[in-house]
Amino acid sequence: MTVSLFQKANQKAGKRERTRAALLDSALDLVAQQGMETVKISEITKHAGLANGTFYNYFTDRDEIIWEVSYGIAKEIGRQIDEGMVGVDDAIERVLTATTAFIDIAIDQPEWGAVVISSNHHTTEMRKDVTRFLRADLQLGLEQGHFSITLDQYLLDQIGSIIVVCIRTQLEEGADLNLTRRACDYILRLLGVAHADIPELIAQHVQPTATS
């Protein structure tokens, strides 16, 4: 198994942390391959090259490790997005920048994208935690007068579903900037942005990247 997200973050850590990271990366690989529903603890330890009993030295059960994998990926994607948002104060630009970056990262790292898709329907608490960043941008948009919305979890889940479908389609059919632009169009419509303004906003802020 190649060194992946969690092992990279713990390369200089002690043996216990490195072993825990190996289990997390193993779980990441397996969830990406087969989804969350069928991954077994025995498969995780075998894929990591560890004894089956080793698992319980680090995690209570299967749900705990799956949650940590999903949250770890979401946190890393969020970190990368934040790096590109420095100095961006307009809510519409923030939403478009974050949406495009999230989709691009998930497509560029297909294993991460697969976990994002799988976890979208299974980890409600993680979804709420991750969408707090989007919630802040939507609140900003209300204050700036850009959005006409009821800001609640239902709206956040609608936006999340649009993004997940866009990621899944591009992972299956290949990167397509037009699909990302369509996702951004749908999101702006949900947020109450004037339809006539949307094409120009997307042209300005949704640009090709290395993965588009």
Could you report the per-residue pLDDT of 8-63, keeping only the tens digit for each?
Answer: 877 777 888 999 999 999 999 998 888 888 899 999 999 999 998 899 999 999 98
C-alpha–C-alpha distance, residues 65 and 25, integer Å: 10
Alpha helices in 84-212 (DSSP H): 91-108, 110-119, 124-130, 132-144, 153-173, 177-190, 198-205
Handedness of CA 188, 101, 94, 204 (dihedral sign): negative
pLDDT of residue 124 exceeding 90: no
Domains defined for the chain, CATH in brackets? 5-59 (1.10.10.60), 67-205 (1.10.357.10)
Using pLDDT thresholds of 50, 70 and 90, give the confidence band for residue 177: very high
Using pLDDT thresholds of 50, 70 and 90, give the confidence band for residue 146: very high
pLDDT mean across residues, the chain = 89
Question: For the whole model, what pTM was predicted?
Answer: 0.86
pLDDT of residue 202 exceeding 70: yes
Please state the φ and ψ torsions of residue 12, each to the nearest 5 degrees.
-100, 10
Q: What are the DSSP calls for 78-100, one per residue?
A: HHHHHHT-TT---HHHHHHHHHH
